[in-house]
Structure 1
Amino acid sequence: MNFSELFGNAQWVTCGSGCTSPVIKGSFFIEEPKKAEITICGLGFFRLWINGREVSEDKFVPVNSQYCKRDLTAFEYPILDELSYRTYAVRYDISKFVIDGKNDIRVILGCGWFAQQKRSAEGFAKYGDIKLCYKIDAENKSGKKYTFVSDESLEWKQSRIIENNIYFGEVHDMSLADELTANNDFQSVIKAPAHETQFFVQDCPADRVERVIKPTKLFDLGEVSIYDMGENISGYPVVSATVDGADITVRCSEEINPDGTLNFDSCDRGQIQKDEYHSAKKGEECMPWFTWHGFRYFELTNNAEPVRCEIVHSNCAVTSSFESDSEMLNWLYDAYIRTQLSNMHSGVPSDCPHIERLGYTGDGQLCCEAAMMLLDSQKFYKKWLEDISDCQSIGNGHVQHTAPFMGGGGGPAGWGGAIAVVPYEMYKIYGDKETFRRYLPKILRYFDYLDSRSSGGLVCREEEGGWCLGDWCPPEQITICEPFVNTALYIKQMMMTKEASEAIGESETAAMLEKRIEEKKQAILSAYYSPQTGSFIGDAQGANSFAIDIGLGGERAFNNTKKKYDAADAFDTGIFGTDILTRVLFERGCADTAFRLLTSTGKGSFYNMKKQGATTIWENWDGERSHSHPMFGAVTRYLFSFILGITQEKDSAGYEKIVIAPQIPDGLNRTSGHITTVRGEIAVSFVRTEREMDFYVTVPQKAWFTYGSDCEFELWEGENHIHIDFEE
């Protein structure tokens, strides 16, 4: 909708130059109020008070989006695409906050993404300056209706927040901390320019404080002390001064050095997460308002003490569980959940919560199925899908590497292919045919784009002067070639799209895709398959698995892969290869090999992270850069779909036809877990001894259970017990 449809005759207003976080004050009068609702947009972020009471616990609203057109020449590589734009507003019922007579309304603004002032990665990304608009619709007990809007009658003054930046942190002047009660020193607001965009009311879960942790003091280093959260999180320390007039500094990092000082190797040394609080009163709590940090450890000046640490992320509940007698699998599940949640902020699944903080379409498409299975995230991903769509070129169908677009490297199918993968997974996990139907034309436009960037049938380039990655972050230098990876991923995405197209009755589209799939398969066979060895590119970094996954190579290629990884002590694969290899092994009944890789102890292993104290998943197998990157954690979904066997028939979506088909590897004798589907909870547990095995399966409707080649049972709604005696 356009501005007037949402806000009527409201005006955008702002403050004087030099202030990036004002408090904007106004008033409105209602006799005997019955109900009231506010529609509000404060860019970049806002917090709202009515009569001194904060209206919501939401943080970092409105959610991030591709707000409006801006100069893209400041980014590190050229983007000439014409994109689409949207801005979200938030709607709150404020009935319980409104009083009879004069009401006070105050809003504090922060830069957020819209008014980002500085950034050390990818380039300057500012859309515009901070601004506010709102409309209040109210009714009193007599039925009289009221409308109040933001206009030039509002007033502003500097809030306590002198500087605020998503990447670098905040500076507060605590002597100004009376901004919610003060009535002096206010100035008239200034009318702010409008921006060209479409407006939507936010329906995506906002960030909230989801947990609170009491930090542990590790070291007193004289002027500062070092504290440990016990886990790597996203959020911030809440601290209080121990003396009046304290100037407090807090710095955050993921790691510490042997001497107890903070280690910034897994961060960006030019972008230290730091908050400063000046002139704080004794006992006064201080915390950032418009940013979060990604950290485990923090450094605090010794004129203050920690009160608590607030863990903040999008309000997406964990709707799954997993526990087994494998310490490594337990760690993998816990680490993935913690990492994924730490990377869900302001409606965007990010790569990391502390360095780039961007919605990379590569990381996002890899992890979307796991997140949809294990978290209450349907609305979250539906919103992110709109971001992906907004970042598709109107001219040629190209999809950016980040959504909303904020620069960032990547490649064709592995990144832009998110526009095909996310709608497909929403169809499979939630049974959402309408979302897939709506996005199908956009998916096909992207496929046409990939064809336009192909040579000899292989996807071999993207935009001139830009990136064109294939796989990413293997433990050694990349040897699997980019055109092979991108073409294999493109074929897989067409296979997904063909399946979902058939489900919605798009038979002509499915037939067209089948023809294109076969053409691309022949191109891969011609360019990369060796009849002498039976492998693709010598099975470099999981290459055979990419081919097997799209129906190429046959038993010979698979046997080569199984033999190679039966002898391996770790993964040698990147983010896509790790996921595909693990799935290919499970799908072909090689649970033992897949389990050994997931629990392996070599360089490219999750154990290598765990043994070094990691509580979240790393960006690189060796620990270089970020220590909170969910992309390798995409394999966590296979603990549920293969080991516990919670799956559905091939032609099923939204778990309409549930199948429980556990694959239990040697060395795993006890496992339990559940997921929550649109049809209800599905739970599986098993215990195995030398002589027998017991399964306990809870399903929300009739389902089928299969184990091995000769064990098949119909399951009834509710709890089912299946006993297998091996001696019989």
Structure 2
Amino acid sequence: MMNLQNDRVWNAKWIGAGFTHVSFKAAAKPAPFFRKSFSFAGKEKQAEVFFCGLGWSELYLNGKKVGDSVLDPVVTQYDRRSRYVRYDVTKLLRKGENVFGVVLGNGWYDCSTNEVWHFDKASWLDYPKFIFELELDGKPALLSDASWKCLREDGPIRFNELRNGEFYDARRERDGWSAPGFKDTKWVPASIVPGPGGVLTEQTIPPCKVMARISPVQVFKSFDGAKIYDVGQNITGWAYIRVKGAAGAEIKLRYAENISSSKDQILQDNISSYIQSGETQTDRYTLKGGAPEEWEPRFTYHGFRYVEVSVTGEAEILGLEGCLVHTSFRSLTEFKSSDAILNKLFECTRWSFIDNFTGIPTDCPHREKNGWMGDALLAAETGLFLFDMASSYHDWEQTIADAQRPNGQLPGIVPTSGWGFNWGSSPAWDSAFILIPWYVYIYSGEKRILEENYEKMKRYIEFLGTMATGHIVGFGLGDWCHADISRITDVRVTSTGYYYADTVVMMKCAELLGFKDDARTFRTLAVEIKDAFNKMFYNGDGTYAKGEMTALACALYQRLCPATECAKTAAKLNEAVLANGCRTDFGILGAKYVPRALAGYGYAETAYRMITQPAFPGWADWVNHGATTLWETWSGDSSRNHIMFGDIAAWMMQYLAGIVPDEKHPGFSELTIRPFAPEDLDSLDVSYSIPGGKVKVNWKKKNGRFHLALTVPKGIPCRVYLPDGSCREQKAASAVYECGWKK
């Protein structure tokens, strides 16, 4: 096993409320509040806090919240690792008395909801707790211990659950509780408690924040008299409300992404099926009375477009906003084309990506919130094109390594309570552990993620070897969410495809990191897998398996097709797509393979037609039905905010803008620009920030000619391939090209 160690020495103790009688399954588990007063002489020049509060927490100093992050710290495999957050509080301390305050939410650490993934039975399950150290000029000055005071059960946050919601009673607020001068005589001493069991390492990824506040675009009246606010966009987060009314009046907020055709009822059936206890996506606020009151939740989040607000008692809703919450990574890309459908698809993908990254990549922000590895893998290149993702993926890969079993096996979701090692895992999902680090290396040039995970990545290949028969892997999930389950490609095709892809990447990693013997072993294994795959599935006429789009595209995309047969197989794929009216005939794996295989082998026009054709099943069909995010199924009968069909934005960047990631020049240290101009697309305007600066691609067709204005970072070599087949070396930072737009 990997030798896990803290990255700093801790002198503090883990402390908690000391609950002994509140059940993990209690209908109301109040959030505990803590405070500690101390005197500061004002001589020291640097003040830093090191703080981990599980599951989620907020830190206060002298009556104000420290920082603007939410949902901290990021969820991990708690029995192996927890993250602490470092705060610079130098400017917040004052001479004399100071008070630190802490509020703890359950988060992922203390899940009591009955659900199918068993987080309510996780090995780490325990009451919320925290560890805290204040250092002044690098020396310990204040530690968490039993001298802290605690408000155990009488605080205003009466209930908070990840998959249910938060209940808040403003009548129980304690004004000034985290400021000097507050009388805490009725508060009890905190209890020293066991830690979560893993190591503590610093959280280095960008935190989750409220990234935008969105005003409703419409308000409907429900069949039972409630108001339904439409924020116009499917988002992740919660609602902020401003209300006025009598003490004891209650505001109930229910969240959903769907609404009835009559606009008088929100629909939660598509997101509530796996939640077996409690209310689904529901917050409650009880007024204290008097002046207008403002509130938003702290320790839950929801996926929604619509908020149903009902009032019990005398109260008036003065205002509501949708709070967009996600990891605060830096945006890298701007995209605009002459095709409104294409633009909308790009935006839907961007929205689904941010909605599904709250510290970890998730499948959906409402029903599950789980770190499904397959979803993350399929969307990873889109993520790396759209946002600065290296540190976020590095953090999550560490959690995957923590979840891995000694025999190399991986679960389908990370983190996991223990669920997903049997049903839910698959090479098509687990390969996130190998391929995402490789993508990070290609897009950012950062190889530390490969160095740190290499031995465990190697162990996963060894595990797959134990699951293979004659180098064919036949277990796991396959081309998920196909519109016609009778046409799903044999899982042996896709699972073996990833076995091969993983082995090839491990060969390249071994070469890069200097493990020559490993590289030779992986090279030999890759040849054997490829031979076995073609012997088992190739029909000799250009087709694979039963000729499904996914089978053909898998052989091409994963480089399993022999070089002498690739043109034949690509032609067969193109014929299959055209014969189907360019409608999709695949699930989430084919959604990545097929457009890339077509474009990579000379049929980009067909790929573009498939992406933009308006009929069911297809991406544009979603847009024509009012989608603001990507859906889980082609029919839209389940979640309407999944990212697993989301490689489509990366396809647009790589093939339409022509910005080509190149493993020979990681981090875009040299650039290849190869734009494709489809017949029905008149213009494209894209900018993308690479490690060396910004790339700008602006092309348009005019009078039968192709015009390209290209700007690249100064000093980065750039080769430009134009639609007429010519190649140019760009010497200056900016250049303009003109040619015929067809060969």
Residue 272 (structure 2) aligns with = 268
Does structure 2 conserve the Cα–Cα contact (< 8 Å) formed by 1:369 and 1:425? yes
Normalising by the residue count of structure 1, what TM-score does the alignment of the two structures yield? 0.92
Deviation larger for 167-176 or 195-204: 195-204
- Aligned 1:370-519 pairs, distance under 5 A: 370-394=382-406, 396-406=407-417, 407-408=419-420, 409-461=423-475, 468-477=476-485, 479-519=488-528
Structure 1 residue 715 corresponds to structure 2 residue 730: yes
Residue 21 (structure 1) aligns with = 31
* 2:149 aligns with one of 138, 148, 155: 155
Displacement after TM superposition at 1:447 (Å): 0.8
Structure 2 SS opposite 1:654: helix
Displacement after TM superposition at 1:709 (Å): 5.5
Structure 1 SS opposite 2:271: coil
Residue 79 (structure 1) aligns with = none
Q: Percent identity?
A: 25
Does structure 1 conserve the Cα–Cα contact (< 8 Å) formed by 2:77 and 2:416? yes
Structure 1 residue 224 corresponds to structure 2 residue 226: yes
Does structure 1 conserve the Cα–Cα contact (< 8 Å) formed by 2:236 and 2:365? yes
CA distance in 1, matches of 2:370, 2:742: 55
CA distance in 2, matches of 1:609, 1:280: 44
Structure 1 SS opposite 2:69: coil
Residue 556 (structure 1) aligns with = 568
Does structure 1 conserve the Cα–Cα contact (< 8 Å) formed by 2:371 and 2:415? yes
Displacement after TM superposition at 1:133 (Å): 1.5
- Aligned 1:94-105 pairs, distance under 5 A: 94-105=89-100
Displacement after TM superposition at 1:537 (Å): 1.7
Structure 1 SS opposite 2:234: strand
Displacement after TM superposition at 1:280 (Å): 4.0
Displacement after TM superposition at 1:130 (Å): 0.6
CA distance in 2, matches of 1:639, 1:540: 24
CA distance in 1, matches of 2:621, 2:194: 53
Q: 1:501 to 1:657 in 2, by over 3 A?
A: farther
Displacement after TM superposition at 1:514 (Å): 2.1
Structure 1 SS opposite 2:685: strand
Q: 1:711 to 1:727 in 2, by over 3 A?
A: closer
Q: Number of residues paired by the alignment?
A: 699
Displacement after TM superposition at 1:137 (Å): 0.9
Residue 177 (structure 1) aligns with = 173
> 1:159-189: per-residue Cα shift (whole Å, max 9, x none)?
2100000100011111012254353431222
In the alignment, structure 1 segments of 5+ residues that lack a partner are: 69-84, 462-467
CA distance in 2, matches of 1:422, 1:192: 37
> 1:233-264: per-residue Cα shift (whole Å, max 9, x none)?
01111112231222110000001002321011
Q: 1:304 to 1:541 in 2, by over 3 A?
A: farther
Residue 25 (structure 2) aligns with = none
Deviation larger for 123-132 or 426-435: 123-132
Structure 1 residue 633 corresponds to structure 2 residue 646: yes
CA distance in 2, matches of 1:577, 1:710: 29
Does structure 1 conserve the Cα–Cα contact (< 8 Å) formed by 2:81 and 2:199? yes
Does structure 1 conserve the Cα–Cα contact (< 8 Å) formed by 2:70 and 2:208? yes
Displacement after TM superposition at 1:503 (Å): 3.5
CA distance in 1, matches of 2:169, 2:471: 61
Structure 1 SS opposite 2:622: helix
Residue 116 (structure 2) aligns with = 121
Does structure 1 conserve the Cα–Cα contact (< 8 Å) formed by 2:705 and 2:741? yes
Does structure 1 conserve the Cα–Cα contact (< 8 Å) formed by 2:234 and 2:303? yes
Residue 687 (structure 1) aligns with = 700
Q: 1:521 to 1:146 in 2, by over 3 A?
A: closer
> 1:608-664: per-residue Cα shift (whole Å, max 9, x none)?
211221100011111122111111011210111111111144522110111111122
Q: 1:14 to 1:2 in 2, by over 3 A?
A: farther
Displacement after TM superposition at 1:483 (Å): 1.4
CA distance in 2, matches of 1:47, 1:264: 30
CA distance in 2, matches of 1:121, 1:666: 48
* 1:107 aligns with one of 102, 126, 150: 102
Displacement after TM superposition at 1:702 (Å): 2.8
CA distance in 1, matches of 2:76, 2:286: 33
CA distance in 2, matches of 1:6, 1:610: 53
Does structure 2 conserve the Cα–Cα contact (< 8 Å) formed by 1:697 and 1:720? yes
Does structure 2 conserve the Cα–Cα contact (< 8 Å) formed by 1:64 and 1:348? yes
Report the aligned-residue RMSD: 2.0
Does structure 1 conserve the Cα–Cα contact (< 8 Å) formed by 2:287 and 2:293? no
Displacement after TM superposition at 1:4 (Å): 10
Q: 1:200 to 1:726 in 2, by over 3 A?
A: closer
Does structure 1 conserve the Cα–Cα contact (< 8 Å) formed by 2:271 and 2:367? yes
Does structure 2 conserve the Cα–Cα contact (< 8 Å) formed by 1:159 and 1:179? no
CA distance in 2, matches of 1:540, 1:633: 21
CA distance in 2, matches of 1:210, 1:296: 16
CA distance in 1, matches of 2:254, 2:527: 55
Normalising by the residue count of structure 2, what TM-score does the alignment of the two structures yield? 0.91
Does structure 2 conserve the Cα–Cα contact (< 8 Å) formed by 1:10 and 1:135? no
Displacement after TM superposition at 1:684 (Å): 0.4
CA distance in 1, matches of 2:479, 2:438: 21
Q: 1:194 to 1:99 in 2, by over 3 A?
A: same
Code of the aligned partner of 1:476? D
Does structure 2 conserve the Cα–Cα contact (< 8 Å) formed by 1:412 and 1:450? no
Does structure 2 conserve the Cα–Cα contact (< 8 Å) formed by 1:336 and 1:636? yes
* 2:162 aligns with one of 147, 157, 166: 166
- Aligned 1:174-213 pairs, distance under 5 A: 174-178=170-174, 180-181=176-177, 183-184=183-184, 185-213=186-214
* 2:551 aligns with one of 525, 533, 543: 543
* 2:679 aligns with one of 656, 661, 666: 666
CA distance in 2, matches of 1:7, 1:437: 27
Residue 75 (structure 1) aligns with = none
Displacement after TM superposition at 1:317 (Å): 2.4
Structure 2 SS opposite 1:104: strand
CA distance in 2, matches of 1:722, 1:285: 56
Q: 1:364 to 1:675 in 2, by over 3 A?
A: same
Code of the aligned partner of 1:252? Y
Structure 2 SS opposite 1:193: coil
In the alignment, structure 2 segments of 5+ residues that lack a partner are: 23-28
CA distance in 2, matches of 1:726, 1:130: 62
Structure 1 residue 30 corresponds to structure 2 residue 40: yes
Does structure 2 conserve the Cα–Cα contact (< 8 Å) formed by 1:473 and 1:574? yes
Displacement after TM superposition at 1:125 (Å): 4.0
